[in-house]
């Protein structure tokens, strides 16, 4: 059993957060767009935590040889070190 994650309410009571699927891909994509710090990576340096800026959503990615858009990524972010982070959030069903 994995350890739980708890949220302390304003009344001091702990509420266990339970994993559940998103209703749609769009929900997760919108959350990442609004809150890019959901991306892992801030543990890279305590002195200078990594931050992201959204460059583009639904970005086309081409091949060097063909140059046209062959694949799509949901988000393209740049971080404080100018490294790119690309996300894809397919909705998986069990």
Q: Would you say residue 93 lies in a domain?
A: no
**Helix (H) or strand (E) run with residue 74 in it:** strand 69-79
44: left (phi over 0), alpha (psi -120 to 50) or beta: alpha
Residue 59, beta-bridge partner list: 73
Domain range spanning residue 52?
A: 23-87
Verdict on whether the full-model pTM lies above 0.75: no
Q: 87 vs 62, which has greater pLDDT?
A: 87
Separation between Cα atoms, residue 35 and residue 30, nearest integer Å = 8
pLDDT value at residue 45: 65
Q: Would you say residue 16 lies in a domain?
A: no
Helix (H, G, I), strand (E, B) or coil at 6: strand
**Helix (H) or strand (E) run with residue 52 in it:** strand 52-62
- The tally of domains found in the chain comes to 1
pLDDT value at residue 2: 59
Residue 84: band (very low, low, confident or very high) from pLDDT cuts 50, 70, 90: confident
Alpha helices of 7-48 — where are they, by DSSP H? 25-34
């Amino acid at each position: 059993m994995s350890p739980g994650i708890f949220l302390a309410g304003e009344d001091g009571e702990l509420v266990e957060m339970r994993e559940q699927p998103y209703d749609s891909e769009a929900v997760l994509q919108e959350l990442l767009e609004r809150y890019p710090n959901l991306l892992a990576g801030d543990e890279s340096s305590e002195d200078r935590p990594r931050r992201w800026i959204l460059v583009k959503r639904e970005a086309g990615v081409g091949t060097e040889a063909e140059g046209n858009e062959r694949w799509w990524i949901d988000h393209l972010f740049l971080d404080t070190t100018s490294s790119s982070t690309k996300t894809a959030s397919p909705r998986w069903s069990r």
